[in-house]
Structure 1
Amino acid sequence: MNNPPANMGAIIKSVRQEMGLSLDKVAMRTGVSKAMLAQIERGESNPTVSTLWKISTGLRITFSRLLETTSTDYHVMPLADTPLVEEDEGRMILRNVFPFDPMTGIDYFHITLLPGCHYESPSHANVYEEYVLVTKGQLLLVIDEKEYLLLAGDSLRFKGDANHAYINPSDEETVFQNIMKYL
């Protein structure tokens, strides 16, 4: 992950302590090693998207809570200034445009897939539904082994706990919006 929020480790530690969990218990719940969790909490490691999803799911918190920044003022934020997470050797770029809001129960992500990207997403036990809208290029979305080819302007929704993969099958950049509705 590039440019993680400076307080990500503090957020994880705070959530862990609020829940009365040791690093060992969090490791068991998430499948992320105790050593890695400790490094993330201390800000010594930049976790991947997969690691963040494991932590989010294991702690039953929203993904965007891990990317929170503290601000209550209204202001325009250029996409380039939103926190970004890279996966699949930099071919997947995820930006949390609108972090989780308990009133709406959603996260809103802007995702770019470079040519050749094939990202296997872990199922999300804490996500009720995912909504995908392709705004540029084409996206091959594989859900429980069934393939859906989405072109710019196409959308699809599916259960968040389904196994799924995001694939850019073209030589062009793919951009899509992803909304997650939490349980």
Structure 2
Amino acid sequence: MILTEERFLATYEVRRLKKKETVKSFDCGDADLNDFILNESHLYRKVLLAVSYVAENKLDNYSVSAYFSLANDKVSLNDFGCKTDFNRFRKHRFVNEKRLKSYPATKICRLGVDTSAKGLHLGSFLLDFIKSYFVINNKTGCRFLTVDAYAEAIPFYLKNGFIPLNDEDADADTRLLYFDLATIADDELDD
């Protein structure tokens, strides 16, 4: 069964974890992602480094089906091998007077889907939720979403509109990807 938007909204509630709240049960099949949500997410929140959100299944006693963690980030000259690559990146995105040395972004630090919800495309729905979260009624400027994707997760992010920021990490264990929120802003922005 693949989730539709209607079924997603009827089945799941996405909410931010409270300051000292911990998740008691979660298994996405990745020990690092499990450890973060079970043992570390509240510590990151306490020291203002990242905020975690859960997608709870309303039909299953609000069990945690997925989570994601967000932090502030930026896309800057340092992310590119040379200034020419950075200039090429920003040239078609910004007019001359808006060409800065860095641009505001939000990093998706972690995203995990419990094995009980695998195959439902819940991860894609959460990425769409995050994208709209920073476009609709946005409280601060945020142009890009970034993620340091594990090699095995890269196809998932590419399928969801993310693009490699550069080619320097093409063969690394993780790859820096970005999503330009301006590609959806015109359709989503409130007046």
Which TM-score bucket, shorter chain as reference? 0.3 to 0.5
Larger Cα-atom Rg: 2
TM-score with structure 2 setting the length: 0.32
TM-score, normalised to structure 1's length? 0.33
